[in-house]
Chains A and B, each alone.
Chain A
């Protein structure tokens, strides 16, 4: 399948495995959840607020767990802070290296965790789960324009976090990873689809959240189509560099198949959305009997498998 001469990479494996896999997974879900929650709160209807709150609950714990996984993956976990502060003698100061997404990502994670923590507390207050004065003051601050600005910035940060993970591995000399510039976009698209699926599952545990399921399902379908498009782009870039055989050889093809199966609910939904014309001439989708756990769960497994296929096949 090689169209051009294969790129020759002789880099060794960094042995980024399970911790990194699940961190990438959580980063995608956190990014997508923050994005959807912001859209539903500020550009949806009042009926979307229950799902918006569900969405705002996701990023903070996902970020904390993700940071924990990243730290555990280090060979010297107690030196995690060396990412932030340079400890080289005579060069003490903040550490920031714009040439590596790892450094950019660490700072993004740090700042984003503040945003997600605030909206997490805000959502707890809105739900009446905490009532102390500092928390209520914080929540009051997020009413109106300040909240809008806060969440738009938070959304941008979290979209970056969902996508930079793909850029991080592309900025290397590893075969497969460095052969495609589209991995960041792919991870973002798959994170968006996965977060819509996650919120669909969670919506069954929150009264009033059923109102937004249509939006979530439709979003998941569209995001899955975007994900498939990016898979195609990745494949094309890998063909260009002669890395397709490595990426899709056995046993990785099995993971890709699982990822593809995870896209089927979304693609089927996109192809099979039944629409009807209302008396007033509006087009609306017809609700089908929802396989409410199976389909979103398949999507989530697919999101995980996609990342596993990319991460493991290169190493």
Chain B
């Protein structure tokens, strides 16, 4: 998208539409993200895992191109774009964000662009958000000792610029824009692929079935599970266990109280007065 035409208004919802069908795995997005956000590279090493050289999203890797090898042992035909899946992964900026739900400090906020942002000056590194994020997006930045993740280039948006990864993407696999506009483009692209016979293409996070909708949503070439994304059934919020957990504690407390009362009434090995002899003893 040409930057000159882009007008970014606070109060509107923005996000990413990542079309994995045109990702070529160049990792320009990873590099642009690290460059703009001044994130250090990991020490050089060979993961031995396909073309992947960052392995996962973490506190210093906010874009990660997944290389998912689905190539069968014996080639039976053309891959149709799903034998080797590529996906530039990123924070999904969920509408119902698990990380925001569990943050005890209020460090995780929703910005004026409807994105999810971690305030580094507020975060105290409790790591509750890491346990909650269903996408394994958040991690501690070892240099700053706070939880960090993609900000959807909050500073660039404030300056009227699109995020660095979207700008660097040479195939427009990563598209940035107002959410309604991205939805329209995604629907068109999906219709095109389906009309070409690629029925397995599907949109992930386009509707509200997954965490109320994702501001960073995807066009996938296989089921979400193939990309290690929870499907709609498994896209659940941590707070689902609050009620059951507390009721479990309450029930146990009541049973514990009953048990203690029984122990008090039947005092067990309480020393008996010596003058009271035993009349019967049985195991």
Residues of chain A at the chain B interface (Cβ within 8 Å): 7-16, 35-36, 39-40, 43-44, 73-77, 79-80, 82-83, 86-88, 91, 95, 97, 99-103, 106, 159-160, 163-164, 166-167, 169-174, 177-178, 181-186, 188-189, 192, 210-215, 217-219, 222-223, 225-226, 230, 272-280, 283-288
Asked whether B38 is an interface residue with its Cβ less than 8 Å from the other chain, the reply is no
Nearest-neighbour CB distance to chain A for B68, whole angstroms, equals 13
Evaluate whether A217 and B136 lie within 8 angstroms (CB atoms) in the complex, with A185-B249, A278-B278 already known: no
Residues in B with CB closer than 8 Å to A178 are 238, 241
Residues in B with CB closer than 8 Å to A288 are 269
Nearest-neighbour CB distance to chain B for A39, whole angstroms, equals 5
A285 to B269, CA, bound (A): 5
Nearest-neighbour CB distance to chain A for B240, whole angstroms, equals 8
Residues in A with CB closer than 8 Å to B125 are 74-76, 79
A83 to B244, CA, bound (A): 24
15 contacts across the A-B interface (CB closer than 8 A): A9-B134, A15-B130, A16-B131, A35-B260, A76-B145, A82-B105, A83-B104, A88-B107, A97-B104, A99-B242, A184-B246, A185-B248, A188-B249, A284-B268, A285-B269
Asked whether B78 is an interface residue with its Cβ less than 8 Å from the other chain, the reply is no
From 203 to 256 in chain B, residues with beta carbon under 8 angstroms from any chain A beta carbon are 225, 228-231, 234, 236, 238-239, 241-242, 244-249, 251-253, 255-256
A-B contact count (CB 8 A): 271
Could you tell me if B127 and A75 are in contact, using CB atoms closer than 8 angstroms? Answer: yes
Could you tell me if A91 and B106 are in contact, using CB atoms closer than 8 angstroms? Answer: yes
Could you tell me if B245 and A83 are in contact, using CB atoms closer than 8 angstroms? Answer: no
A32 to B283, CA, bound (A): 30
Partner of B271, one of A7, A177, A211: A211
Nearest-neighbour CB distance to chain A for B233, whole angstroms, equals 8
A299 to B105, CA, bound (A): 36
Could you tell me if A226 and B126 are in contact, using CB atoms closer than 8 angstroms? Answer: no
Told that A79-B125, A219-B260 touch, could you supply 16 new A-B pairs with CB distance under 8 A? Answer: A9-B134, A12-B133, A12-B139, A13-B130, A75-B125, A86-B122, A88-B109, A100-B104, A172-B131, A173-B134, A185-B252, A214-B267, A214-B270, A215-B263, A285-B266, A285-B270
Residues in B with CB closer than 8 Å to A73 are 126
Nearest-neighbour CB distance to chain A for B242, whole angstroms, equals 6
Residues in A with CB closer than 8 Å to B130 are 11-15
